[in-house]
Chains A and B, each alone.
Chain A
Amino acid sequence: QVQLVESGGGAVQPGRSLRLSCAASGFNFNTYAMHWVRQAPGKGLEWVAVTSDDGNLKYYADSVRGRFTISRDNSENTLYLQMNSLRAEDTAVYYCVRGGNPTVTMECWGQGTLVTVSS
């Protein structure tokens, strides 16, 4: 079955960096777009970034563009999110999400990893 396991979350000071990973299994990773979606404590969901199945196309939410970089290693079935210049408002649970194929949706979600940005 589809499994998405995020790791790399933790507490970090403002202005520092963190890299999240998402290990995927149970499906052909290199045939799906992959997303990061986050949820601040007690708040709604916010789409963060997407990468195409081959990693050549990447799009970002305005709130993270220029600070976050999404990438993937299809040989390792792993998705990444490099987060630089972190701010308090980046505090959230970060979910790794598989896109649909051929459906247009965000289909399968990991359990999430918590990132806390605080001095």
Chain B
Amino acid sequence: SALTQPASVSGSPGQSITISCTGTSSDVGGYNYVSWYQQHPGKAPKLIIYEVSNRPSGVPDRFSGSKSGNTASLTISGLQAEDEADYHCTSYISDSAWVFGGGTKLTVL
């Protein structure tokens, strides 16, 4: 089954927001292989967090990831207008397979 994300979150510039991604012990809780992607309208997803909390080079440190039990979280601090996008979480499940969440639309007010 797909991971559970809130459909939408919002915040004002400069604030912090957190997006949750809830799975089970067979996915999020069972592996430290959660990734997060940012997707602007009409664009391909871009990797922003891998292996729960690691940032690829070039991703601002305003983006951070964490995990507790079966729930992973993406926190964006110091919100900027350009952060407005869809955010997707994914977790490794087994046999090189992955499962995604339904995606969360972030609105910067």
- The interface of chain A, by Cβ under 8 A from chain B, is 33, 35, 37, 43-47, 50, 52, 57, 59, 61, 95, 100, 103-112
Residue of B33, B44, B90, B103 near A47 (CB, 8 A) is: B90
Which B residues contact A (CB, under 8 angstroms)?
Answer: 2, 33, 35, 37, 44-47, 50-51, 54, 56, 88, 90, 92, 95-103
- The 6 A-B pairs with the shortest beta carbon distances in the complex, nearest first, are A105-B50, A44-B103, A47-B98, A109-B44, A44-B102, A45-B100
Chain B residues whose C-beta falls within 8 Å of the C-beta of A107 in the assembled complex: 47, 50, 56
Contact of A103 among B54, B95, B99 (CB under 8 A): B54
Which residues of chain B have C-beta atoms less than 8 A from A100's C-beta?
A: 50
With contacts A57-B96, A61-B97, A105-B50 taken as known, whether A44 is within 8 angstroms of B2 at the C-beta atoms is yes
Query: Given the known A-B contacts A44-B88, A47-B90, are A106 and B47 also in contact in the complex, defined by CB atoms under 8 Å?
Result: yes
In the complex, the answer to whether B45 meets A45 with C-beta atoms within 8 Å is: yes
